[in-house]
Amino acid sequence: MNRIKDLLISLAAPPPHRCFLCEREFPMSEDGLCDECRRTLKLAISPAPPEGLDGLTAGLRYCDELGTIFYRFKTGERRDYTPFLAQFISIPEEWRAEMLVPVPLHWLREYRRTYNQSFLLSEYVSSRYGIPICRELLVRTRRTPQQKLQKGTQRRKNLKGAFQAAPECQGRSIVLIDDVVTSGTTLSECAKALKKAGAKHVYAACVACTER
């Protein structure tokens, strides 16, 4: 009798799922977090756009817990994190965005990783907002050291002239998609390349940003 009762209770209760942050099994809400982990995440306060950008949004403030998720997402083949992270990317209506452009990886790095995490995020954002992805508009022309290992002046030096935009961006309103904005150097160089090729407006939408 007790076994039947336990079975009925288990069928009536919501199934446990792994929290995206702590990876423990808890009943969770649609955002994919348990109550405890949800309290650790903080919404980002409108970050100031770096040079070259006309606007920037980020859903969350970067923290160590998020750092673990991004590491798994980018280097651990954890593509299943994509919908969880993409939910925190927003595009204001007043941007009048015409195209989404994922921040490109160098072709060799993407080949070794087998995917570009910014493109994965772009796919979900595109389906939500109905804005097409045009990844061919921007390419990384040379391989550069990982930005997180460099200091500010070195970051700018590493990325100067590292991106090239196609003439098809002429007169367009473009939104760059990326996972995290730290110093903003990468987004700034991407925006400069797009505007040099004739883009009318360049914005960026990211999952998270560091406090600057």
Based on the domain organization, do 32 and 103 belong to the same domain?
no
Cβ-contact 210, 186 below 8 angstroms: no
Range of the domain at 77: 45-209
Based on the domain organization, do 80 and 178 belong to the same domain?
yes
> Of 72-81, 124-133, 146-155, 164-173, where does mean pLDDT reach its minimum?
146-155
Examine residue 1 and state whether it is found in any structural domain, yes or no.
no
| pLDDT on residue 153 | 67
Name the pLDDT band for 11 (thresholds 50, 70, 90): very low
Based on the domain organization, do 138 and 192 belong to the same domain?
yes
Based on the domain organization, do 19 and 95 belong to the same domain?
no
| pLDDT on residue 212 | 64
Based on the domain organization, do 80 and 110 belong to the same domain?
yes
Based on the domain organization, do 37 and 117 belong to the same domain?
no
What is the mean predicted confidence (pLDDT) over 185-207? 97
The first and second tokens of residue 143, run together, are 């391989």
| pLDDT on residue 87 | 94
Q: What is the pTM of this model?
A: 0.85
Letter string b/e over residues 52-75, b meaning 16 or more CB atoms within 10 A of that residue's CB: bbbbbbbbbbbbeebeebbeebbe
CATH number at residue 193: 3.40.50
Cβ-contact 211, 183 below 8 angstroms: no
Provide the domain count of the chain.
2
Q: Where are the extended beta strands (E) located within the chain?
A: 17-18, 25-26, 55-61, 99-102, 138-140, 163-165, 173-181, 201-209
Based on the domain organization, do 156 and 177 belong to the same domain?
yes
Examine residue 7 and state whether it is found in any structural domain, yes or no.
no
Sign of CA dihedral 203, 209, 211, 212: negative
Given a cut of 70, whether residue 135 has pLDDT beyond it is yes
What is the mean predicted confidence (pLDDT) over 108-123? 92
Burial category of 143 from C-beta neighbours within 10 Å (exposed 0-12, middle 13-18, buried 19 and up): exposed
Examine residue 8 and state whether it is found in any structural domain, yes or no.
no
Based on the domain organization, do 136 and 183 belong to the same domain?
yes
Name the pLDDT band for 34 (thresholds 50, 70, 90): confident
